Chains A and B, each alone.
Chain A
Amino acid sequence: MDHSARVYDDITQMFPDEENPSPIVRLNRLVPEGSQLWAKLEWMNPFGSVKDRAAWAMVRDLERRGELGPRRPGRGIVEPTSGNTGLSLTAIAGMRGYPMLAVVPSKVPEEKKVLLQVLGAKVEVVPDALCPLPGSEDGTIGLAKTHAKASADRWVMPNQYANQQNVEAHLRTTGPEIWRQTQGKVTHVFTSLGTCGTVTGLSKFLKAKNPEVKVIAVQPSPGHDVPGIRNVSELDVSQLYDPKLVDEILEIDFELAYTVAAELARHEGLRAGPSSGLIFEGARRTARKTPVACGVMIFCDDVFKYASNMLKHVPGLVAEP
């Protein structure tokens, strides 16, 4: 596929891979002296987030196995999602003619709930847990699994929390992209934890290339309000997390996710979402302690979907100035 002219017959040809990587951009104003930090702009993917990679891999795998497609007429996709995976899956489902049911927690910002519907998903909202459950199921996973099990003729659940395709996608694409884009010079990777497909796939790939690469996960403080990412205490839900693949976990006050995202927009021209704010704050703190020669930060999505959350968390913002 020739990407030089950016001419495509179908939007799916734009999904990222080593030949068509999402961009990495060096930060020049907010980075401590002596370090180089690069942001990998995952919002440049066709449906706006890092989740395009897992969603595309999971749908193709279901099609290959005959779980979706002509052999299962009328069957659609049901998935628990805090929004991004749902948006990617919904867009893909729409193009393929599959119904889509997105099960989202009530905490997800309104923008995502509306966007899911704009793209054609039916959305079911589940109340957030009242206090942390020790079990491995949260409300959205429970409801989505129930649909997939009780109405298997109507729904199949890719299950991003347990689907190895979620890891494979990053082994096949994100890892090789970063290796090539940094010409093998990457020393640190900074990412968040959610389903953990990104951290596990990236770490496996990059550590196989160079065992010295440091993989640093940045997590929000407990009780956070940052959709899509998790504190380690909430990781029971993911079967893809392997602590051996993570060198360090940094915990950052979740309010900083929002204020640092605004800082990135104001000083670096990067319209980064709150999880990117959190990741950058983790990377900046690491760089303040020891210079980071070539750090790559996974900026999962942009801020457009979080306007209402930004309004809540960034001092000085007003809806009607």
Chain B
Amino acid sequence: MADYANPEVLVSTDWLRQNLKTPNVRVVEIDVDPKLYAAGHIPGAVGWDWTTQLNDQVKRDIISKEDFEKLNSEAGIKNTDTIIIYGDSSNWFAAFGFWLYKLYGHKDIRLLNGGRAKWLNEEGAPLTTEVPKFERSQYKVSSVDGSLRAKVSEVLAASEKKAPLVDVRSPDEFTGKIIAPPGMTETAQRGGHVPGATSIPWATAVTNENTFKSADELRAIYLDQKRLEPSKATIAYCRIGERSSHTWFVLKYLLGFKDVKNYDGSWTEYGNLIGVPIEKGG
């Protein structure tokens, strides 16, 4: 059985339980539903609200380098720390946080395999409502890795030259039957997908325990069935960029794709643009 291309970016719940008090191991929770952190979290974890803390509050963008430094410094996180990220919904926004950390050049960042649900369901895995206090640090971003992020111009170019684009939304969003899942406030003017994109819903990558499927299973899905190629530049997108961070993580770190980008503008940018080509149907 083959291993993941970069197995070091995943930690198990057992590993985390044994390392909760290890110096320089820091835990960060990022959920789709920010209420969860306050209700209970892994001891020592800090919790970030993706709506207010990971996105710029004026323009539509991820937080700036300066704000990212401030966020980490206030949480007492150091550049040399090993950061373990976890969250709800099989780590959707945890994967987004992972992507953000990689974009801003953090060296040692890992995902908790199975996320919040796996931890929650384990006998004796501790949860607390206590919010930890840490001494302020001096977190610095020394480089920004723009190669992990696709802008809309790159998406249009990729579509034009038929380069691989992966649409990780639900099948109904892909075909254009719906523009966004019911009740979502972030939406678009038009439904459908970027011409030439392949539909591979994000959940294809996870087991019933919310953990990632084995390397062999992932290869069978993404390489054999869906015909993606690890050597080709690939872009993943969804609706607002968090589900695509999950697939981006799978392609880049578990399957070892050389060049894979997350298009965080995703359908809420693309589906609102005037004049860009859209494909509907399956």
Binding site for B on A (CB under 8 A): 106-107, 124, 126-137, 139, 142-143, 145-147, 149-151, 223, 236
Contact = CB atoms under 8 A, between A and B. Distances in A.
Interface string B91-132: 000000000000000000000000011001100000111000
Contacts of B208: 134-136, 236
B199 to A, nearest CB: 12
A131 B90 contact: no
Interface string B23-44: 0000000001101100111000
Nearest 3 pairs of A and B residues by beta carbon: A150-B40, A131-B170, A150-B127
Interface of A is mostly: loop
Contacts of A143: 33, 35-36, 39
B275 interface: no
Interface residues of B, number: 34
B264 interface: no
A151 B35 CA distance: 15
A134 B212 CA distance: 11
A127 B32 CA distance: 9
A149 B206 CA distance: 25
Given A127-B183, A129-B181, A137-B120, 16 more contacts: A107-B183, A128-B181, A129-B89, A130-B239, A131-B170, A133-B203, A133-B210, A134-B203, A135-B117, A136-B208, A137-B117, A142-B88, A142-B116, A142-B120, A146-B40, A223-B172
30 contacts: A107-B183, A126-B35, A127-B33, A130-B89, A130-B184, A130-B239, A130-B243, A131-B169, A131-B181, A131-B201, A131-B203, A133-B90, A134-B90, A134-B207, A134-B208, A134-B210, A135-B117, A135-B208, A136-B121, A137-B120, A139-B33, A142-B36, A142-B116, A143-B39, A145-B120, A146-B120, A146-B127, A150-B39, A150-B129, A223-B172
Contacts of A142: 36, 88, 116-117, 120
B209 interface: yes
Contacts of A132: 170, 203
Nearest to A78: B39
A145 B206 CA distance: 22
A82 to B, nearest CB: 15
A130 B90 CA distance: 12
Nearest to A147: B39
A135 B206 contact: yes
B13 to A, nearest CB: 14
Contacts of A149: 40, 120, 127
A106 B32 CA distance: 14
A162 to B, nearest CB: 11
Given A126-B33, A135-B208, A137-B120, A147 B40 contact: yes
Interface string B208-239: 11100000000000000000000000000001
Nearest to A130: B181
Nearest to A131: B170
Contacts of A126: 33, 35
Contact of A135 (B41, B129, B209): B209
A2 to B, nearest CB: 46
A133 B114 CA distance: 13
Interface string B160-199: 0000000001101100000001111000000000000000
Contacts of B89: 129-130, 133
Contacts of B88: 139, 142
Contact of A128 (B121, B182, B243): B182
A151 B126 CA distance: 11
Contacts of B207: 134
B27 to A, nearest CB: 15
A146 B210 CA distance: 17
Nearest to B89: A133
Nearest to A128: B183
Contacts of A145: 120-121
B41 A137 contact: no
A150 B41 contact: yes
Interface string B74-92: 0000000000000011100
Interface string B116-156: 11001100000111000000000000000000000000000
